[in-house]
Chains A and B, each alone.
Chain A
Amino acid sequence: MSGKIIEVQGLSHSFGDFKAVDDISFSVEEGEIFSFLGPNGAGKSTTINVLTTQLDCQKGSARVCGFDVRARPHDVRKSIGIVFQDEVLDRDLTVRETLEFHGRIYSMPRDQRIAREKELIELVELGDKWDERTKHLSGGMKRRLEIARGLMTRPRVLFLDEPTIGLDPQTRLRIWDYIKGINEEGTTIFLTTHYMDEADKLSDRVEIIDHGRIIAKGTAESLKNTLGEDMMYLETGDDERAALAAKKVPEVSEVKRLSSGLELILSADGAKVMPKVLRSVEGEGIGILSVKMKKPSLDDVFVHYTGREIRDAPVDGNSLKMRRH
C-alpha cells in the first residue's frame, strides 16, 4: 500500500498574535521517514499537535491516514501513535503496566494487547525491566518504552517529536536503529528534530521549517546538493580581491565573505576545482594563508537558507523543559 498518508494544505496556526505556523503545505508518503527540521520555536511541535488533533486546525486543511483532522479527529487518534517531546510516563507504574494502561485506554482487545506488550518489549529490549517502575529506568530506556507504547496499537503512522532530545550520543544511535527497524516493518514515521545529523541519517525526505514556514524541501542528499558538490574555505592576504579571482573559475557557483576568509560553493568535484581556484588567486599575486574543503552538511543548508546557524536560533519555552532522567 502506498500513497499519501499525511496531506497538509495551507495550514496556519496562531497563538494570539504569534503565528507559530504560517501557511504550510506538505505531504508524507506511506512507508517513508519524513523529517521536519528546524530550530526550537520554528513551528514543528505546533504542526504535530494539529496533525495529532491536540490543537484545533485553525486555518487550512490536514488529512492523516485519510481522515480530516477537523471532521474526524477520533479516527485520526485511533490510527496514529505519538511519542511526545517531553517525558510522558507515570513514574510509579511498571514497564508492563505502562503498556497495559495504554492498550486499555485505546480499547485494545485483551489478547491482542498482551501479545503486543510481549512483542514490543522485546523489540525495544526492555524484557528484563518488565516489572521495574519507570522511575528506575535510564533516559534512553524511558525513550524506548515510550516508543514501544506509541506502537502498541500498530499505528499506520508514528509521530516522534524530538525523539533523541537530551540523550547521550550512544543512546541516540540505538534509538535511531529502533526507528529505522520500525519503519522497515512498514510504519510511516513523522519526525521532528532540530538535530541536523538526525534528519540526515534517518529520513527519506526532509523539510526545513523556520519561523513557521517551510523554506526548503527534498531528500537530505538533494538539499545538500543545492550547495554544490563541495564547499571550500579560503583565507588570503586580501579577501576582497581573492573573491573576484575565485569567481573567474567557472565551477565556483557562489562566493561568500565570512568574518575572516571566504566560503566557496563548488559545482564540481572539489579535488579538481581547488587547484584552479588556488592558481587563479595566486595569479593575482594574493597570498593564501589557509585552505579547507568539505562536503556540505544539512547545517550548511540551514545556514544557507536562513543566514544563521540552527543553534543560534531563539529558544522557545517548551524546549527549556529538559527531560528528566
Chain B
Amino acid sequence: MGREFLTVYWREMIRFVRFKGQLFAALVQPALWLLLFGIAMSSNFTNDAVVFPTIPGVINVDYLTFMAAGVMAMTALFTCLFGGMGLLFDKNWGIMKEMLASPMPSYHIQLGVGLGGVTKSLIQVGLIMGFGLLLGVEFFPGFSGTETAVAVLGIFAFVVIFSAGFIFLSAGLAMRVESMESVQAMMTLLTMPLMFSSNALYSTASFPAWLQAISSVNPLTYFVNGIRYFALGGDFTALGTHYEYASGDILASFAYLLVFAGLTFVFAWRSFKRAKVT
C-alpha cells in the first residue's frame, strides 16, 4: 500500500496547529469542564447532607476523579464527531477535487483524516489527564511506576479505537451530505444523547430500564469503562455505586468499540468510494 495517506495526515496536523485560536479552545474547553463542572459538582457531593455509602477495603473515588474519565471520553467524542467537518469544507471550498482527481485511492483520505482525528484525541486526552492530576484527580491509586505506564497505554488504546470509530462516522457523513448546516445539526443531535445516556458524568445504575438499554449500546459507555478500569482499577466505589470490572468485561468493551470502528470504517469507505467531483 502506498503512503500517500501520510500526506493527508500531514496536512490535517498542519491545520490543527495552525489555527491557534481553535487549538487553544480545543485544549482549554475540556480543562474548563473539569475545573468548573467537576469542582462545582464535587462540592455538592461533599456537602454533609449527601453521604454515599462506601465499602470497607474498596477504594472510594471522589466525584472529580470519577468524572475526569468522563471528560476525557467526551473530549475525544467531540473532537472526532466534528473532525470530519473539515472534509465538508474541502468539498465546497477546498482541495477535495484535487485529492479525488489524483491517482491516490480515495480511502487514503479516510485513513489520513482518521489518523489525524486519533492523534488530536490522544493529545487532548493526554493533556486533560495531566491537567486533572494537577487539579487533584486521584488516578492510578497505589499504582507502581510500571502499573501506571501500562494503565496509560491501556487508556490510549481505548482512545485510539474509540476515536477511530467516531472520526470515520463523521468523515463518512461529511462525504455524503451537502450542507454545513445539516452535518452540524446532525452532530449536535447525536452528541446530547450520547453524552447523557452514558456513564461519563454519573452512574447509570439507577437509570430506568429504557435509558439503561440505550446506555448499554452507547459506545461512550464502553469507552468510559475502559478508561476507569485502567485509571482506577477493577474495584472501586463512586457516588455510592460499586464498580467491579473484570478484565473480561474490559476486553468485551474493547471488542465492542472495535466492531463499532469496523462498521464506521466500512461506512466511510463506501462514502469515499462513491464520492465524485462535480
Question: Which A residues form the contact surface with B (CB < 8 A)?
Answer: 49, 52-55, 74, 77-78, 82, 84, 87-93, 97, 101-102, 104-107, 149, 324
Chain B 1-41, CB-CB to A under 8 Å as 1, else 0, gives: 01010011011001100110000000000000000000000
Tell me if A74 and B103 are in contact (CB < 8 A): yes
* Min CB–CB distance B180 → chain A (angstroms): 16
Provide a sorted-by-A list of 9 A–B residue pairs whose CB atoms are within 8 angstroms.
A49-B277, A77-B103, A90-B15, A90-B90, A90-B94, A92-B14, A102-B98, A105-B104, A105-B108
Could you tell me the distance between the alpha carbons of A77 and B104 in the complex, rounded to whole angstroms? 9
Kindly report which residue of chain A lies nearest to residue B3, judged by CB atoms: A107
**B157 adjacent to chain A (CB < 8 Å):** no
**B97 adjacent to chain A (CB < 8 Å):** yes
Tell me if A88 and B98 are in contact (CB < 8 A): yes
**B95 adjacent to chain A (CB < 8 Å):** yes
Tell me if A97 and B14 are in contact (CB < 8 A): yes
* Other contacts beyond A78-B103, A105-B8: 16, CB < 8 A: A49-B277, A84-B98, A90-B11, A90-B90, A91-B93, A92-B19, A93-B11, A102-B102, A104-B7, A105-B7, A105-B99, A105-B102, A105-B108, A107-B2, A107-B104, A149-B98
Could you tell me the distance between the alpha carbons of A105 and B2 in the complex, rounded to whole angstroms? 10
Kindly report which residue of chain B lies nearest to residue A87, judged by CB atoms: B93
Kindly report which residue of chain B lies nearest to residue A317, judged by CB atoms: B278
Q: Name B's interface SS.
A: helix
Given the interface pairs A55-B276, A89-B95, A90-B95, the reply to whether A105 lies near B100 with Cβ below 8 Å is: no
Q: Which of B2, B4, B97, B99 has the most CB of A within 10 A?
A: B97
Could you tell me the distance between the alpha carbons of A101 and B109 in the complex, rounded to whole angstroms? 13
Q: Which of B18, B97, B104, B277 contacts A106 (CB 8 A)?
A: B104
On chain A, the residues within 8 Å of B205 by CB distance are none
Q: Which of A52, A93, A97 contacts B101 (CB 8 A)?
A: A52
Top-8 shortest CB links A-B = A104-B7, A77-B103, A54-B277, A105-B104, A88-B97, A78-B103, A105-B102, A90-B95
On chain B, the residues within 8 Å of A78 by CB distance are 103
Tell me if B11 and A54 are in contact (CB < 8 A): no
Could you tell me the distance between the alpha carbons of A149 and B15 in the complex, rounded to whole angstroms? 20
Tell me if A77 and B94 are in contact (CB < 8 A): no
Q: Which of A49, A90, A106 contacts B102 (CB 8 A)?
A: A106
Q: Name A's interface SS.
A: loop
Could you tell me the distance between the alpha carbons of A53 and B8 in the complex, rounded to whole angstroms? 21
Given the interface pairs A77-B103, A88-B94, A107-B2, the reply to whether A101 lies near B7 with Cβ below 8 Å is: yes
Tell me if A106 and B103 are in contact (CB < 8 A): yes
On chain B, the residues within 8 Å of A74 by CB distance are 103
8 A Cβ contacts from B96-131 to A: 96-104, 108
Q: Which of A49, A93, A105 contacts B4 (CB 8 A)?
A: A105
* Min CB–CB distance B247 → chain A (angstroms): 43
On chain A, the residues within 8 Å of B101 by CB distance are 52-54, 77, 82, 84
Could you tell me the distance between the alpha carbons of A93 and B17 in the complex, rounded to whole angstroms? 12
Could you tell me the distance between the alpha carbons of A52 and B14 in the complex, rounded to whole angstroms? 29
On chain B, the residues within 8 Å of A102 by CB distance are 98, 102
On chain A, the residues within 8 Å of B15 by CB distance are 90, 92
On chain A, the residues within 8 Å of B14 by CB distance are 92-93, 97
Tell me if A88 and B95 are in contact (CB < 8 A): yes
On chain A, the residues within 8 Å of B19 by CB distance are 92
8 A Cβ contacts from B65-112 to A: 90, 93-104, 108
Q: Which of B4, B94, B95 contacts A104 (CB 8 A)?
A: B4
* Min CB–CB distance A69 → chain B (angstroms): 13
Chain B 201-219, CB-CB to A under 8 Å as 1, else 0, gives: 0000000000000000000
Tell me if A89 and B4 are in contact (CB < 8 A): no
Could you tell me the distance between the alpha carbons of A97 and B14 in the complex, rounded to whole angstroms? 10
Given the interface pairs A55-B276, A104-B7, the reply to whether A92 lies near B103 with Cβ below 8 Å is: no
Q: Which of B7, B93, B276 contacts A54 (CB 8 A)?
A: B276
* Min CB–CB distance A109 → chain B (angstroms): 12
Could you tell me the distance between the alpha carbons of A120 and B96 in the complex, rounded to whole angstroms? 23
* Min CB–CB distance A112 → chain B (angstroms): 15
Kindly report which residue of chain B lies nearest to residue A89, judged by CB atoms: B95
Could you tell me the distance between the alpha carbons of A55 and B277 in the complex, rounded to whole angstroms? 8
On chain B, the residues within 8 Å of A77 by CB distance are 101-103
Could you tell me the distance between the alpha carbons of A257 and B226 in the complex, rounded to whole angstroms? 85
Tell me if A101 and B94 are in contact (CB < 8 A): no
On chain A, the residues within 8 Å of B7 by CB distance are 101, 104-105
Kindly report which residue of chain A lies nearest to residue B97, judged by CB atoms: A88
Could you tell me the distance between the alpha carbons of A195 and B74 in the complex, rounded to whole angstroms? 54
On chain B, the residues within 8 Å of A54 by CB distance are 100-101, 276-277
* Min CB–CB distance A67 → chain B (angstroms): 12
* Min CB–CB distance B156 → chain A (angstroms): 28
On chain B, the residues within 8 Å of A97 by CB distance are 11, 14
* Min CB–CB distance B91 → chain A (angstroms): 11
On chain A, the residues within 8 Å of B98 by CB distance are 84, 88, 102, 105, 149
On chain B, the residues within 8 Å of A82 by CB distance are 101
On chain A, the residues within 8 Å of B11 by CB distance are 90, 93, 97, 101
On chain B, the residues within 8 Å of A88 by CB distance are 94-98
